[in-house]
């Protein structure tokens, strides 16, 4: 049942203290006179008075209400919520990194520049691209950077009629949003019965106004686009470029590379693929890789290595300019670099193998009970449809809430849009067979509960601190502060 905890305001007792300060060594009375009356608090602050341990317990208890990868299984499809090794935090916290100032002279930050340079080399190797910028702060930011590079490329060639970007129906929502932000028109390409890009429809959609095709491979259905070489040829023949949304790179590292599939521009979500925290866990990083013919359009500066020194090069004549202050989210890059070096080439390949194995194992357990619209070997994730359950009275969103009662973070729901009542599940490589079995058992329990009393499932969650919220209002007008009365 829902636990009713005393509020911190109710715990306070007059005279209890949680701090010990040395005596004030400035004359309080004079200070008081220095502050103009109108700037002083007129009413008492009325904070609860608590002992130190009560304060610690209060905040520690609050922190446990936040679900994270470190507290439980988090199969949020597309988001790759893998475990982030703690050594990443240790290296990122090294004083040699944290005490740098971005305006220091190059000669005094050679180690940091070397790390940026080395990270670029590793990402080039993993993606098959020729140059990489580490500046973008997230995947969506990388998408915008990539499309700006594509735009600059067409413009420099005097090719001004290209005003459309093609995206498949299964695309992540950020793709069409980025296309619009970049000033392009979105053209949607339908999927065929296999869940893959419909080649005939693609051929029909491509013409001399096509600037690019944006694609993720494997797709958000977790399916590999088998015709990718033909897709690349169709786009290139028409003079367009291929943009790779790298959010699903976790599935293919060491097996194939976007550069080898014919992609010209790639963004990576290193906060997904290379184990740096995301969501509430910290800032992200969305490096963008390009083929040689696009390298001169990248944001400045880029890190170069000559004469045994690392230098920041601002001299890219075709550059789209700056996309982030200084060099991007440096601390996040340190974490990803640590991960890349800890894993090594073989380790990364193992990551993808295990991610795909875990997804297929879980998919095969769950398809016994749930509808699997595209029943093929998947890559790192798969998508179920809760359409049959919805007909009984509890759909994808209700199953997601029911999972909260069972101690699991829900999968991604209602995305991708091409599956009705979608439940998009990505277990990641860092989970054990026992965890996957427990999740499948919880899902089966929920299916049984829907058979028995769908209304009760649809009224969940029943054990969380708050029940079913109005999700739009909760996101738009969050009430995060306690007030004694509404008019205060």
Which residues of this protein are in contact with ligand PLP, per CB under 6 A? 78-79, 138-140, 172, 174, 216, 220, 245, 247, 269, 284, 286
Q: What's the min distance (Å) between Cβ of 141 and ligand PLP?
A: 7
Q: What's the min distance (Å) between Cβ of 26 and ligand PLP?
A: 48
Q: What's the min distance (Å) between Cβ of 391 and ligand PLP?
A: 29
Q: What's the min distance (Å) between Cβ of 172 and ligand PLP?
A: 3
Q: What's the min distance (Å) between Cβ of 249 and ligand PLP?
A: 10
Nearer to ligand PLP, 221 or 454 (CB): 221
| Residue number of the CB atom closest to ligand PLP | 139
Nearer to ligand PLP, 139 or 395 (CB): 139
Q: What's the min distance (Å) between Cβ of 91 and ligand PLP?
A: 22
Nearest CA among 259, 273, 285 for reference residue 140: 285
Nearer to ligand PLP, 140 or 197 (CB): 140
Nearer to ligand PLP, 310 or 415 (CB): 415
Q: How many CA atoms lie within 13 A of 122 on its CB side?
A: 24
Nearer to ligand PLP, 140 or 399 (CB): 140
Nearer to ligand PLP, 76 or 384 (CB): 76
Q: What's the min distance (Å) between Cβ of 142 and ligand PLP?
A: 7
- Locus of tokens 């033909």: 230
Nearer to ligand PLP, 273 or 446 (CB): 273
- Listed in sequence order, the residues at least 6 apart from 268 whose beta carbon sits closer than 8 Å to its beta carbon are 123, 127, 139, 142, 246, 249, 274, 286, 287, 288, 289
């Amino acid at each position: 049942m829902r636990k009713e905890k005393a509020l911190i305001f109710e715990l306070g007792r007059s005279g209890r203290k949680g701090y010990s300060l040395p005596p004030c060594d400035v004359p309080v009375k004079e200070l008081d006179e220095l502050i103009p009356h109108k700037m002083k608090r007129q009413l008492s602050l009325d904070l609860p008075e608590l002992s130190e341990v009560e304060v610690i317990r209060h905040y520690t208890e609050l922190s446990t209400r936040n679900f994270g990868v470190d507290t439980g299984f988090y199969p949020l499809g597309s988001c790759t919520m893998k475990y982030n090794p703690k050594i990443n935090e240790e290296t990122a916290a090294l004083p040699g990194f944290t005490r740098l100032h971005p305006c220091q002279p190059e000669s005094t930050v050679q180690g940091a520049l070397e790390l940026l340079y080395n990270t670029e080399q590793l990402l080039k190797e993993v993606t098959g691209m020729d140059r990489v910028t580490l500046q973008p702060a997230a995947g969506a930011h990388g998408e915008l950077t990539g499309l700006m590079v594509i735009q600059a490329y067409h413009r420099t060639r005097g090719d001004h009629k290209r005003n459309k970007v093609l995206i498949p129906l299964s695309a992540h929502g950020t793709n069409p949003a980025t296309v619009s932000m970049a000033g392009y028109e979105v053209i949607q390409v339908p999927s065929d019965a296999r869940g893959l890009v419909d080649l005939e429809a693609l051929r029909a959609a491509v013409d001399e106004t096509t600037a690019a095709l944006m694609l993720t491979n494997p797709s958000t259905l977790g399916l590999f686009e088998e015709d990718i070489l033909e897709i690349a040829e169709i786009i290139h023949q028409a003079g367009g470029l291929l943009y790779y949304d790298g959010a699903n790179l976790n599935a293919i590292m060491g097996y194939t590379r976007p550069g080898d599939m014919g992609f010209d521009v790639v963004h990576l979500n290193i906060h997904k693929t290379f184990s740096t925290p995301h969501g509430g866990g910290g800032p992200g990083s969305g490096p963008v890789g390009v083929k040689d013919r696009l390298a001169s359009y990248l944001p400045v500066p880029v890190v170069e290595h000559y004469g045994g020194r690392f230098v920041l090069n601002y001299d890219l004549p075709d550059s789209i300019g700056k996309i982030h202050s200084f060099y991007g989210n440096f601390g996040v890059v340190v974490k990803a670099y640590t991960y890349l070096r800890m894993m090594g080439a073989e380790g990364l390949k193992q990551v993808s193998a295990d991610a795909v194995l875990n997804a297929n194992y879980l998919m095969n357990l769950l398809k016994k009970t749930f509808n699997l619209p595209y029943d093929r070997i998947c890559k790192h994730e798969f998508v179920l449809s809760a359409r049959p359950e919805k007909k009984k009275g509890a759909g994808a969103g209700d199953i997601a809430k029911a999972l909260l009662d069972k101690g699991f973070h829900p999968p991604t729901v209602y995305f991708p849009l091409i599956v009705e009542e979608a439940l998009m599940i990505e277990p990641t490589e860092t989970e054990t067979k026992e965890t996957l079995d427990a999740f499948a058992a919880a899902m089966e329990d929920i299916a049984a509960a829907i058979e028995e009393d769908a209304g009760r499932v649809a009224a969940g969650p029943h054990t969380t601190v708050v029940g079913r919220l109005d999700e739009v209002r909760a996101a738009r007008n969050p009430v995060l502060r306690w007030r004694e009365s509404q008019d205060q």
